[in-house]
Homo-oligomer: A and B are copies of this chain.
Amino acid sequence: MKFKEINPSPRTLMTPGPVEADPRVLRAMGAHILGQFDPEFTALMNETMEMERYVFQTQNKMTYLVDTTSRGGLETVLTGAICPGDKVLIPAFGRFGYLLAEILERCGADITLLEREWGTVFEPEEIEEALKKDSYKAVAFIHGETSTSMMQPLKEIGEICEKYGALLIVDAVATLGGAEVHVDDWKLSACISGTQKCISAPSGSALITYNEQIGEIVKKRKKVEKGIRTADDVNGSLAGIPSNYLDLAQLEDYWSPRRLNHHTEATSMQYAVHEALRCIVDETLEARWARHSLNDKALCAGLNAMGLSIFGDIEHKMPVVTAINIPEGVDGKVIRGTLLNEFGIEIATSFGPLDGKILRIGNMGYSSQKRNILILLGALEAVMLQNHVKIATGEGVAAAMEVYKNAEK
């Protein structure tokens, strides 16, 4: 048995995740391992919490990491906040809305799905209508729906949820660190993100935050393990949490000054997230949002100039994902494959009803760079021509360069 060392071919990752990790983040992971209760390590964990609060724009004490990919973070918060039988409204406008329902159904929640055509977002009135009709413990919402490239405005939804006494739990996996997310101002009860998109670290950790209202629920569901429980540890009054590993109450204790032993914190991923957050602090959120927005503008200008049509409700398009309608007679997989194999640039196809209909281009985190936008547009033009798509040649890159030039003025 003989295998070679890890030596990946050069790649420019323009998918909606995973994207390129910041080289500073990759270097941070090379640091040697510290014990999980070493004061130096717990100090890093506390710093991570502090920087995370900035990135989420929140004062929530409970703002920390779960040692899973983003999907596990979603499940941890949802199954910690929602008890069996709780009624939850899920306005779904793409694949990941259904994922929230899948997760919650398994823990015995009573789900109401509000569905909408893929490529659109919800009007605040639709949510208010639903909350008027019936009483819900929570509304679970996707912020950036990468499967369709749509972004749901949340400010008004937060106000509506507060008015009707429903928790608002938001999946910001695809937007945090790239598009504006304001957990406190928007009155989000909880928010969850991942590391492999606009945060620009490797996949493998989830960022979570939740308010005191959810903290109170978690307290009532707490149960300390037999092997380490003391006489002071009594079980809470609400139904226990279904998973041991994704147990929000135990994770909270582990991240609290009590540091009650649960899992062994993923050391190198902790280093990675710490450094990724430090990159965001250095750049500032405002500059980061502006960078993504400018690159998005250049990308869209380039695609339009080339004559490719952008999918969905443009007004609500995510600034960090752009979907194009696959021109007739062309196989999206061929476009994607040629870009990857010949140019070393990766973009994505889609799922469900949009499978084969759109191609998705990510503009996220470290991958969100002028250089990447320009080389992608150039490569895409060549591949489209090779596939006999009638496009305006020489226009795409030029239009994007014009956007950058105007922005410098």
Contact = CB atoms under 8 A, between A and B. Distances in A.
A72 B263 contact: yes
B246 A50 contact: no
Interface in A225-257: 225-228, 240-246
Contacts of A75: 243-245
Interface in A90-131: 94-96, 98-99, 101-103, 106-107
Given A7-B31, A9-B40, A29-B26, A269 B72 contact: no
Nearest to A203: B264
Contacts of A2: 281
A70 B36 CA distance: 14
Interface residues of A, number: 89
A6 to B, nearest CB: 5
Nearest to A25: B268
Contacts of A202: 29, 33, 266-269
A244 B18 contact: no
A1 B50 contact: yes
B27 A245 contact: no
Nearest to A347: B35
A34 B204 CA distance: 14
Interface stretch (A270-278, A307-315, A322-330, A397-405): A270-278
A28 interface: yes
A20 interface: yes
Contact of A30 (B30, B94, B96, B340): B30
A54 interface: yes
Contacts of A243: 75, 106, 242-243, 246
Contact of A351 (B94, B227, B241): B227
Contacts of A21: 32-33, 268
Nearest to A229: B352
Nearest to A41: B8
A256 to B, nearest CB: 18
Contacts of A44: 6
A272 B269 CA distance: 11
Contacts of A94: 227
A408 interface: no
Contact of A35 (B13, B102, B107, B267): B13
Given A3-B281, A38-B340, A227-B351, A67 B70 contact: no
Contacts of A102: 225-227, 244
A192 interface: no
Contacts of A220: none
Given A11-B32, A98-B225, 17 more contacts: A3-B47, A5-B28, A6-B28, A8-B41, A33-B196, A35-B346, A67-B68, A68-B68, A71-B263, A72-B246, A98-B226, A106-B242, A106-B243, A106-B244, A243-B243, A243-B246, A268-B269
Interface of A: 1-3, 5-11, 13, 15, 17-21, 26-36, 38, 40-41, 44, 47, 50-51, 54, 67-72, 75, 94-96, 98-99, 101-103, 106-107, 147, 194, 196, 202-204, 225-228, 240-246, 261-269, 271-272, 274-275, 278, 281, 340, 346, 351-352
21 contacts: A1-B51, A3-B51, A7-B31, A11-B35, A21-B33, A35-B340, A69-B264, A69-B265, A70-B263, A71-B244, A72-B245, A72-B263, A98-B225, A98-B226, A99-B225, A103-B244, A106-B240, A203-B264, A203-B267, A228-B351, A268-B272
Q: Which 4 A-B pairs have the closest CB atoms?
A: A204-B266, A95-B227, A202-B268, A98-B227
